[in-house]
Amino acid sequence: MQFDPRLEEGRLLRRYKRFLADIETPAGEMLCIHCPNTGSMLNCMKEGGRIWFSCSNDPRRKLPGTWELSETPQGRLACVNTARANPLVEEALRAGLIVELAGFTGLRREVRYGTENSRVDFCLDYPGGAAFVEVKSVTLGFADSPVAAFPDARTERGAKHLRELAALARQGVRAVQLYCVNLSGIAAVRPAAEIDPGYAQALREAVAAGVEVLAYGGELSPAAIRLTHRLEMCL
């Protein structure tokens, strides 16, 4: 996924009201930009740290830019725009890079399913039946560890999705939880039980029910982000 035009750099002054961030550009201009992340962004940012943002000329927008990448306190790059995860995964799916899910004949987005009024990120059609794929963006890293974790805040919605996938798996339908790791320097992913024990338990129950769990990471830069390889899952 290319950033076109290339992202612009700034320094983070503060993030506030969840969706707002004040930054300073290299030219000394102060801007308020959109922060497209509903999570805590734990370990993703530091005041004075470098960030990269995209700009829009859309006159309907209230804010001139969107926060895309962040330099973490551990010196990694994190893609904090959670809206990038699904297009990034779709790009990799269509290129055949996620080999465990290759060979589909159709791809549908945001398909309604389950008993809790859910929408699955992708429904992939195969000659032998459909596969339901839920995507989660992972950005929580730790110092001196190549293992990232999910979630970075309590997520009842995430646990609900795991319950829905588990119900499908028990019915013999292929169900997949895919972690899109938007953080550099990562080799594996684990559930963040210390942050959300309920989510970690739901993941264990989903795996026991037959849900497949995959994690993919890749390359991040102000020019482009892309998924390139599978990561280990520490369940």
- In the structure encoding, which two tokens stand for residue 165, read together? 């996938």
Model confidence, pTM: 0.96
What was the pLDDT predicted at 57?
Answer: 83
pLDDT band, very low/low/confident/very high, at 64 (cuts 50, 70, 90):
confident
| In the chain, where the domains are located | 8-74, 82-233
If one looks up domain 82-233 in CATH, what number appears?
A: 3.40.1350.60
What was the pLDDT predicted at 222?
Answer: 95
**31-60 pLDDT, tens digit each:** 999 999 988 999 999 999 999 999 988 888
**70-80 pLDDT, tens digit each:** 999 999 999 99
How far from 216 is each of 50, 80, 85, 131, 163, CA to CA, in Å? 25, 16, 11, 18, 22
**106-160 pLDDT, tens digit each:** 999 999 999 999 999 999 999 999 999 999 999 999 999 999 999 999 999 999 9
If one looks up domain 8-74 in CATH, what number appears?
A: 2.40.50.580
Q: DSSP for 38-53? A: -S--TTS--TT-EEEE
